[in-house]
Structure 1
Amino acid sequence: MTTTSAPEPRLVREAFKVPSFERILEHLSHPVLAIGVEGDIVYANAAAETSFGGWILGLNIRDLLPGFALPGVAVRDASSILVTTRKDVAYDALLTPLGDGQFVVDLRSAGPSGEPAASADLDDLTGLVKRKLFMSHLAAALAQGPNFGVAVHCLDLDRFKMVNDTLGHGIGDLLLKKVADRLTGACRKGDIVARLGGDEFVVLQHGVEDPSDAEKLAARIVDLVGRTYVLSGHTINIGASVGVALKGDIGQARDVLRNADLALYEAKRAGRGRYRLFESGMEVLLHERREMEIDLRRALALKQFALNYQPFHDLSSDTCMGFEALLRWNHPVKGNIPPLDFISLAEENGLIVKIGEWVLRTACMEAATWPGELIVAVNVSPLQFKADTLLQTVSSALEKSGLPAERLEIEITEGALLDDTDNVLKTLKDLRELGVKISMDDFGTGYSSLSYLQKFPFSKIKIDRSFVANANADSEAILRAVAGLGSSLGMAITAEGVETVEQLARIRGERCTHVQGFLTGRPMAADHVAAFLANPHTDWKGSPR
């Protein structure tokens, strides 16, 4: 064998002289070559030189791998073949076209039978490639120039954790394998499907000539992954959220992956079970979100939170029965930040547990100063149930404030019952044994609310404001049905979001027992409660304000 010099083809020269890309390849543990149209080796990483005994640039690939068949200039899709060295060492070779008859050749050790050997770059459970190898494929694709269109699809599974928690990790593993199969089936030959860990997957799509190509694949993934699974006798329904980033002008693999991840976050924020393409504004949103997270972590320590209280009234006597505690954030620079802007973030990063504990303790302390038997209602996040400290926190808050347990009402949403129903129900029963009232908030917005009424006798049902605001036949029927159901089960029924006299009249006619909304009282600071109670005879009972 003799070493000869060969001219570097233009595309290969441009690709393999990108410093960050070359660094990635140099750290791989397996050989990677780049060959020109005649099979001349124009790039070899360190693992290739080690495997083949030194300097191999300029050699023809058939000098190393006898019988290697050049795929041809017209080939546009990646392919895999089995090759053997002169010493009968077998490799599984993945050939990725660079255009103009040039290829990247990725060599993996293969066993004696010709089957690829177990590799640190392959996921043990699904057989998909892992992050490190995926990033090398992505870097190679990005280095092929502006005419080689690719898209990255980041996805994770909606409701997968619930499957794992309720049916066990064995079923969860089977589900991940099925998802991997469906993803592979959704993609074309030459696309790369990887599992990054847990229920996170990523797809490298080749041959993207237009954004619509990426959108079609994303829609196909959402559809296929979201179809029903039957595993070991269990019928399972999950979904997939997908974020898509196109190659564009970005030359760094990590940047494209980050953009796809940002788009995934937006897809989940929009309601899950859908896809989003990356847009430049998403970077701004991420920056703002990070800033808010930093501010949110400081807010509790710097005492920037406060509680407002909105009254709710008994319709039979037109009297105030109590107040719902509503969290407010008074930012020193940004002013009052609405709960909708930060509660979901606090739930994502777990801060809601500490914040929720502060809300409980503060609400109990302030309500203890109110006269008579007025109730304070406090919303509790699903994460507070998962923290397994809720019962202790409530007991401590009642003890330190001196507030009787029957004057505290805990409000939960259906989300608190979804993930770990048995433990949540046990906590609710323990709270009720303390004497605390339990109500279900936003009733009617979930898909299994009625089943929970069978499992736990709530003190009160709060009908979501959407059914009050919409004066149509369907909303009227739901109001009537829920009020009748609550009455038959001995539960109080609160209609939320009442803002007009006309809405109040409808509520009175549907047997609701309580009302809450701007018409009957806006949220107020704690030091305004006494003045409100001193003047209870407002004109909402008979005429508009």
Structure 2
Amino acid sequence: MKQKQTMGIYTCIWIVAIVILIVSLFQNLGYAKVINYSGIVRGATQKLVKEELQCDKDDTLIVYLDNLLDELQTGHGEHGLMKLEDKVYQQELNEMNVMWQEIKLEIQNVRHGQSSKKLYQLSQEYFQKADHMVATAQNISDQSLAQSIVMFFLYLLMTGGIFLFWYRHKQKQIQKVMYIDKLTGIYNLLSFEIEVQKQIENQKEFSYVLICFDIDDFKFYNTIYGYAFGDKMLQSIAKGLQLFINHNGICARSNSDCFYALVSYHDGIAEDLRDYLKVVMKEDLELDIIDDLTMSFGMYMVTQNEVAQDILDYALLAHKNAKAIGKNCMIWYDQNLLDRLNQDNLILKQMHRALAQHQFQMYLQPQFEVSTLKIIGAEALVRWKMDNGTFLYPDDFISLFEKDGYIYELDFEILEQACRFIKTYNVASDFSISVNFSRVTIHHKQFYQRLHDVLEKYKTPIGNIEIEITESAFHDLSNGSRAILLKLREEGFTIAMDDFGSGYSSLNLLDSISVDVLKIDKFFLVERSQKREMIIGLIVDIAKTLDMKVICEGVETEDDIDLLRKLNCPLGQGYYISKPILAQQFAEQFLNHEREIHG
């Protein structure tokens, strides 16, 4: 659309210029005709006088000259001559006409036998006047041409100036679009990178820190309070950033709720920035939700002679790691972070070899009846025994494997170990092993078939395997994955929801996804309070109402057992009975003896 407007302006300018040229051309053509016919009047009159002096009458030429003089004076006639409005020219033309009348009178006298001397003298004077009149017409034409040229160049100068002004204005608008974030009015990432490079090259007095941050769960705020409110939040943050840096740095919005700031460093800079932004947002926003709002920060201390793109990447990497750890985190890009990233890369590189060498070991933690302490099942957990003999726990590698997709192979490795265990120890049909499956695995297009293939390989009864998925993973399941879980339930598989109560909208999940087992998150027992005890009781009641089994995790003490018995929670899992132990040890301790432990 803008290109069409620009082309339209170009076209209008040149059309007007062409019109001016055409008008000037026609006007000068008109002047040329007047000059030409003025010369004809001069020459034709001389010819007429010469003929009359030789007694050769030419009335036709007299009529022609009458008409020609009249047309030069009036601008009307068969020759299409224009009337020159110049006073000097018209005066000379009038004098010429008077003298012409005298010449015509003398011609008649000569024809009647009078002397031709006066006619000859008149013709000489007439020739001089006619010559002067032609010169006057030529002068008028030259002046008109000069004026036209001046007007044309003035027009080009004026339109050029206007166009230059317009072009600069458009360039500023384009630069604003290219370099300024439309919503907040601060720099976008492209211009921020340019300005950062200038700033660090001129860095002398201040030490700068580059900060990358965003609002935790910003999508949640957009969904709950609307996108208009979300935009106001972003605008308020941009305003707060500008006030905070106070000309001692620069700031930008990258995308969605991601912001950057290059600001002079002081101890606690990130905490001060976060607190300041919250104060500004409280003043700007009408909803009183800012106290609960959290932000994640990634930071990098800038040194001289660095490339802007590099330090932006460093801050962004620190920010991503802060997001991975949890809400309200602040991470510096430093040697500690690099060591951890190197360790993560080393873990990922060793994953396939570790699978081939069976370094991932299945540990089992018993699940029991709270009332009798009878062992009724177990949860399969994973430990990684590395080449050097050290053990890695799931928190050290599960999230990495989920990001890279390796978790799919690991989940089925543990499933195979569980199926081998069930076959090796001839586990009873009423004893189930709960196997955790990542959201990545559930979404895999081969999940359903591979699950059946593994069970078929080891001739494992469906009732011995329980499919366990975390509550947070249930939130992200696609409709296709939900349909597969429903199909598995119809086939007889038990579906368990792990970490129940750790997220939000759990009741909505129970309404939209049918599960068989609720596993209450250990958080409710670890930091016990009267309200949390009441929540456990409510979850137990909900499970009974919905005809679900319920297991409380994190059972470690006699007090925990007493509480669960009081709340009628039927099943438990935790250190009170046993920590997770190797499969062989589990079999020896809980399968080769009576499955009951008395407290």
TM-score range (shorter-chain normalised) is: 0.5 to 0.7
Partner Cα separation in structure 1 for residue 285 and residue 482 of structure 2: 28
1:187 aligns with 2:241: yes
* Cα deviation 1:375-431 (Å, max 9, x = unaligned): 111111122233344323322222222212222111111111223464443232122
* Cα deviation 1:160-211 (Å, max 9, x = unaligned): 67899x99xxx99x89966754443232176544455x657342334x2524
2:412 to 347, 357, 370: 357
1:147 to 205, 210, 221: 205
1:345 aligns with 2:400: yes
| Counterpart contact for 1:153–1:218, Cα < 8 Å | no
* Cα deviation 1:356-385 (Å, max 9, x = unaligned): 232233323332333321211111112223
1:474 to 515, 531, 552: 531
**Tell me, what secondary structure is at the counterpart of 2:376?**
strand
1:530 aligns with 2:587: yes
* Cα deviation 1:91-111 (Å, max 9, x = unaligned): 9xxxxxxxxxxxxxxxxx845
Match of 1:386 in 2: 443
**Tell me, what secondary structure is at the counterpart of 1:327?**
strand
Partner Cα separation in structure 1 for residue 347 and residue 538 of structure 2: 42
Task: Give the CA deviation at 1:157.
Answer: 5.5
Match of 2:136 in 1: none
The one-letter code sitting in structure 2 at the alignment partner of 1:502 is: D
**Residues 314 and 212 of structure 1: CA distance in aligned 2, closer, same or farther (over 3 Å):** closer
Q: How does 1:76-225 map to 2 (within 5 A)?
A: 110-112=168-170, 115-116=173-174, 131-156=189-214, 158-159=216-217, 181-188=235-242, 192-194=250-252, 196=254, 199=256, 201-206=258-263, 208=264, 210-220=266-276
**Could you list the runs of 5+ residues in structure 2 that have no partner in the other structure?**
1-159, 287-291
The one-letter code sitting in structure 2 at the alignment partner of 1:268 is: K
1:407 to 464, 468, 486: 464
1:445 to 484, 496, 502: 502
* Cα deviation 1:109-165 (Å, max 9, x = unaligned): 84548523587667799887555543322121111133134332223564467899x
Match of 2:543 in 1: 486
Match of 1:260 in 2: 315
2:366 to 305, 311, 332: 311
Task: Give the CA deviation at 1:351.
Answer: 1.9
| Counterpart contact for 1:158–1:239, Cα < 8 Å | yes
**Tell me, what secondary structure is at the counterpart of 1:378?**
strand
**Tell me, what secondary structure is at the counterpart of 1:368?**
helix
| Counterpart contact for 2:234–2:257, Cα < 8 Å | no
Partner Cα separation in structure 1 for residue 282 and residue 417 of structure 2: 43
2:301 to 229, 243, 246: 246
**Residues 286 and 113 of structure 1: CA distance in aligned 2, closer, same or farther (over 3 Å):** closer
Partner Cα separation in structure 2 for residue 376 and residue 183 of structure 1: 50
| Counterpart contact for 1:151–1:246, Cα < 8 Å | yes
1:518 to 553, 575, 578: 575
Partner Cα separation in structure 2 for residue 222 and residue 391 of structure 1: 47
Task: Give the CA deviation at 1:229.
Answer: 10
The one-letter code sitting in structure 1 at the alignment partner of 2:261 is: L
Task: Give the CA deviation at 1:485.
Answer: 2.0
**Residues 123 and 362 of structure 1: CA distance in aligned 2, closer, same or farther (over 3 Å):** farther
Partner Cα separation in structure 1 for residue 282 and residue 299 of structure 2: 17
Match of 1:395 in 2: 452
Match of 2:28 in 1: none
| Counterpart contact for 1:460–1:494, Cα < 8 Å | yes
**Tell me, what secondary structure is at the counterpart of 2:261?**
strand
| Counterpart contact for 2:196–2:262, Cα < 8 Å | no
| Counterpart contact for 2:364–2:381, Cα < 8 Å | yes
The one-letter code sitting in structure 2 at the alignment partner of 1:371 is: V
The one-letter code sitting in structure 2 at the alignment partner of 1:260 is: A
Partner Cα separation in structure 2 for residue 163 and residue 210 of structure 1: 31
The one-letter code sitting in structure 1 at the alignment partner of 2:394 is: P
**Tell me, what secondary structure is at the counterpart of 1:145?**
coil
**Residues 536 and 472 of structure 1: CA distance in aligned 2, closer, same or farther (over 3 Å):** farther
Partner Cα separation in structure 2 for residue 224 and residue 367 of structure 1: 60
Q: How does 1:34-113 map to 2 (within 5 A)?
A: 110-112=168-170
Partner Cα separation in structure 2 for residue 247 and residue 367 of structure 1: 57
TM-score by length of 2: 0.61
Partner Cα separation in structure 2 for residue 203 and residue 400 of structure 1: 54
* Cα deviation 1:299-324 (Å, max 9, x = unaligned): 22443212111221234554322221
Partner Cα separation in structure 1 for residue 554 and residue 560 of structure 2: 9
The one-letter code sitting in structure 1 at the alignment partner of 2:563 is: R
Task: Give the CA deviation at 1:527.
Answer: 2.7
Partner Cα separation in structure 2 for residue 330 and residue 250 of structure 1: 44
**Residues 130 and 117 of structure 1: CA distance in aligned 2, closer, same or farther (over 3 Å):** closer
Partner Cα separation in structure 1 for residue 258 and residue 518 of structure 2: 40
Task: Give the CA deviation at 1:451.
Answer: 2.1
Partner Cα separation in structure 2 for residue 125 and residue 508 of structure 1: 57
Task: Give the CA deviation at 1:332.
Answer: 0.4
Aligned-residue sequence identity (percent) comes to: 27
| Counterpart contact for 1:368–1:401, Cα < 8 Å | yes
**Residues 129 and 302 of structure 1: CA distance in aligned 2, closer, same or farther (over 3 Å):** farther
**Residues 343 and 175 of structure 1: CA distance in aligned 2, closer, same or farther (over 3 Å):** farther
Match of 2:487 in 1: 430
**Residues 500 and 317 of structure 1: CA distance in aligned 2, closer, same or farther (over 3 Å):** closer
| Counterpart contact for 1:111–1:117, Cα < 8 Å | no
* Greater strand share, structure number: 1
Root-mean-square deviation (CA), in Å? 3.9
TM-score by length of 1: 0.67
**Could you list the runs of 5+ residues in structure 1 that have no partner in the other structure?**
1-84, 92-108, 231-236
**Tell me, what secondary structure is at the counterpart of 1:308?**
strand
Task: Give the CA deviation at 1:325.
Answer: 0.8
**Residues 209 and 405 of structure 1: CA distance in aligned 2, closer, same or farther (over 3 Å):** closer
Partner Cα separation in structure 1 for residue 531 and residue 593 of structure 2: 34
Match of 2:25 in 1: none
The one-letter code sitting in structure 2 at the alignment partner of 1:145 is: Q
The one-letter code sitting in structure 1 at the alignment partner of 2:206 is: F
* Cα deviation 1:254-302 (Å, max 9, x = unaligned): 4532442343134324422454455553333233233233233542244
| Counterpart contact for 1:325–1:378, Cα < 8 Å | yes
1:291 aligns with 2:346: yes
The one-letter code sitting in structure 2 at the alignment partner of 1:142 is: I
**Residues 163 and 181 of structure 1: CA distance in aligned 2, closer, same or farther (over 3 Å):** closer
**Tell me, what secondary structure is at the counterpart of 1:322?**
strand
| Counterpart contact for 1:151–1:244, Cα < 8 Å | yes
Partner Cα separation in structure 2 for residue 362 and residue 140 of structure 1: 58
Partner Cα separation in structure 2 for residue 86 and residue 246 of structure 1: 48
The one-letter code sitting in structure 1 at the alignment partner of 2:174 is: P
Match of 2:378 in 1: 323
**Tell me, what secondary structure is at the counterpart of 2:384?**
strand
Q: How many correspondences in the alignment? A: 428
The one-letter code sitting in structure 1 at the alignment partner of 2:561 is: L
**Residues 178 and 389 of structure 1: CA distance in aligned 2, closer, same or farther (over 3 Å):** farther
